[in-house]
Structures are given as C-alpha cells and as structure tokens.
Amino acid sequence: MKKSYKSNLLFLKGLVLFALSVSCTQENTTFNPNSVYVNYENGRATLYRAGAPYYIKGGSGRDHIEKIGENGGNSVRTWSLHEAEELLDKAHEHDMTVTLGIEIGRPYWGEDFNYWNWFAVSRKIEELRPIIRKYKDHPALLMWGVGNEVELQGGNKYLVYLMTNRVAKMIKEEDPNHPTMMATSVKLIGRSGILLSNIDIMGYNSFGKTPLFFEENKNYVPRGWKKAYLFSEIGPPGHWEINETEWGAPIEMDISEKLAFLQKYWDFIDSDTVSLLGSYSFYWGYKHEITATWFSHFSKEGAEAETVKFLKTKWRGENPTNFPPRLSPIKINQQFPDINTYLVADSLFQAHIEAFDPESDSVTYRWELWQEEINFHEMNSYNYNMEHLLFDQDSSTLTFRTPKNEGAYRLYIYAFDNQGNFVSRNLPFYAINR
C-alpha cells in the first residue's frame, strides 16, 4: 500500500511539474483594439471587449441567434467549429459575439483515441492551429471554448486536463487577444488551477448543480477555481437529475416549475458581482434530448417558449407583452394519472387538457405519440410520431389507440397562440399486454 501511495504521489507531482513546463511563461499584456481579456482589479474579475466591460448574456445553440439580440442578449456559444465562419458572420451582422467551441477528445478525435499517446495528441493540436489562425481576427469572436465535458469520456481527469491545457497553450500562442474557456459539468479536481494554467475562464454546465458551482466559485472561495468563471450552460434540472417512472422514463417539469428553478438560479447569478462573467442559457434552438421540449427555447416551427420571455426580463429588463397559452396536466379517461401510468396495449383511450390564453388569443393544438427514446441525444432512425393512432388530434381532447407492442411511450400536447408562442406537456406511459 505504501509503495502504491508513493507511486501515485510521484505521478501527480510529475503531472503538475509538466503542466507548469507547458504553461505560458508570461501573460500577454499587449492587446489590439478588439482584444478580449479578463481584468482583475480590487479583487474583482471583469471581462473586457474592445476596451469596455462586457457581461455575457447569451444562448447556447446555433438557431434563431438574431432573437438573442432582440431579447437583450449579446452572445452565442457553440460546441464545435461546424459552419464556424457562417455563424461568426451572422453574429457580427447582428452585433453579437461568439464563444467558438473547439471539440477536442472523444468522439471527435475517434472513439479509440488514447490521451496517453503523446504524438497523436500533438498531431491533433497541430491540426487545430490553422483553424485558430483563420478565425482569431474575426470581429465577432469573444473567446475560445476548449472542449466540452471532455472529462466525462476521457478517463483519468488529470490526464484529460493536461491535454486540454496543451490545446489552450497552442491557442494562446496563436491568439493572445482572446481568452480560453473550458466547459465542465463536474466539480474540479485538486490542482486544477495548475493543470489548467492556460485556461483563463472556467465554464460550468450547471443545471441542477448551479447552487453547488455558485458556492464553489463565488468570491474566489478557497476551495474553488480561484479565477473568473461563467455558466456555459444554464437551464432547468436535467433528465439525469429528476424523478423517473418505474421503467426509467424521466418526468419533465411543466413550464411553471422550470421558470421557478430558472428564477432561483438567476438569483445566484445576480448575487456574484466578484468572479462571475455571465451565462449562456441552454438550449437556444430546438433540440431533442429525452423530449423535444426539455431544454428547447423554441418549437420545431420556431415558436417561442415562455423561457424566452423570462430571459428577456433578465437581459433587457422589459416585461413581455404577450404570453403563451397555459395548459393543465393531461388527463386520461377523465382522471389525472399516476406517475407510473400503465395502459393496456392496442386499446382506445381519451386524453384531455384544459387550456386558456392570458390575452385571449386563439389557441391551436397538436398531439404526438412517440416511443420512449433509448439514446436521448438523437432520435432513433426507426422512431416516428405515431399519427395513425391519434384521432381528433387538433383539439384539446384526443382519442388515441395505444401501440400493439408492449413498451415505453410518451404522449405530447402542444398548444400555440397566434402570436408566435407555444407551450407543451407530455405524459410517459407503459403499454402492457392483457
């Protein structure tokens, strides 16, 4: 045991010493007129862009970015370099900035990529170098996002952080005028400040952990990151943090519950005036993850959820003038179902919701029935909306037939007003054979 402990200690010391050896030896202090940097003065961190303080009010996503600015925001964050030039140009057109993501590690570098392979890592870093040169002078560039939750798939965290730091070092060599940011969803390990010496800003994909990350980092508390940070993804609790049915289907919060959590998180954001540089709301666009509405600020048609209204009040300080419809929970055969809803397969049922619109706008409906997702990141190719099992689906009352195959499914109701707003609810259920 003693020998193993000493070996591990020597290994960690070696990593720390190596991290120091690959760090930038001095901080760049010469900036061009469009430079972005973190200024530390009187114990407070402030992000500066083109010589003026810049507090991030942004959305994580690629779609509808012009609406970020319309609602008082100023920035967009991506996870990769996909269509980077098009996005940067569009952001600049709308007087916005971009935290441009650089996907590193798995899966982009290959499922079998080994971080211990020094030469393979070096080759990948050199492949990124011309990309940094290409975009470093774009007027919409705010900072570089060096990886996103890489530690979740990369194995040994010390090694992952060391590799990430090498990428950040290369970026700073090519572009001393924009900071580097790493996004993580876990608490940082010890010595992270040394291993990640070339990371200027820590980004937290926080969700239900927002209070934890806030406590760990506010006012440079001793156990925290001790540098500036931002919330790189903030939203309601994720499907991995929530109650599930007996068969493992997460229960999505309704919009009022989501807004209550967002308000709570915003109270934390407003209270840190020392080390927090802003936040990016997740997901600015339409994204299917367990459901199509868990994080999405927009429907697939482009209608706005009430989360957009919420952000407008925070970003612009203006109260919305028109709200989406309100929906009651879904009833099945005139009863509010239990959290574990079992329905007989290949049988007829009636679903019903009560709806009203705060401004008495006209309301239209759409019901959908989907098989529960196994891979929550992408829709399975065989999955589809089972419209053939839905009858009278354009009203508040639906007659539907449960699928013949036993298994997990989810029933959705969408309600739209005529002002570009929408609201949704869903009900997971399990179809059982007689």
In a structure prediction context, what are the per-residue pLDDT tens digits for the chain, which is 434 residues long? 444 444 444 444 455 445 544 444 334 444 577 799 999 999 999 999 999 999 999 999 999 999 999 999 999 999 999 999 999 999 999 999 999 999 887 666 776 677 788 888 899 999 999 999 999 999 999 999 999 998 876 667 888 899 999 999 999 999 999 999 999 999 888 778 889 999 999 999 999 999 999 998 998 887 778 899 999 999 999 999 999 999 999 999 999 999 999 999 999 888 998 999 999 999 999 998 999 999 999 999 999 999 999 999 999 998 888 999 999 999 999 999 999 999 999 999 999 999 999 999 999 999 999 999 766 555 555 578 999 999 988 899 999 999 999 999 999 999 999 999 999 999 999 999 97
Local structure of 309: helix, strand or coil: helix
> What are residue 281's DSSP bridge partners?
59, 234
Q: Which is it for the CA torsion 383, 295, 281, 163, positive or negative?
A: negative
Domains of the chain: 2-315 (3.20.20.80), 326-432 (2.60.40.10)
Pairing of strands 342-344, 36-41: unpaired
Instruction: Please tell me the pTM assigned to this model.
Output: 0.90
Pairing of strands 180-184, 331-332: unpaired
DSSP 256: H
The total of other beta-carbon atoms located within 10 Å of residue 134's CB is 13
Report the C-alpha gap between 186 and 87 in whole angstroms. Answer: 29
DSSP 108: T
The total of other beta-carbon atoms located within 10 Å of residue 265's CB is 22
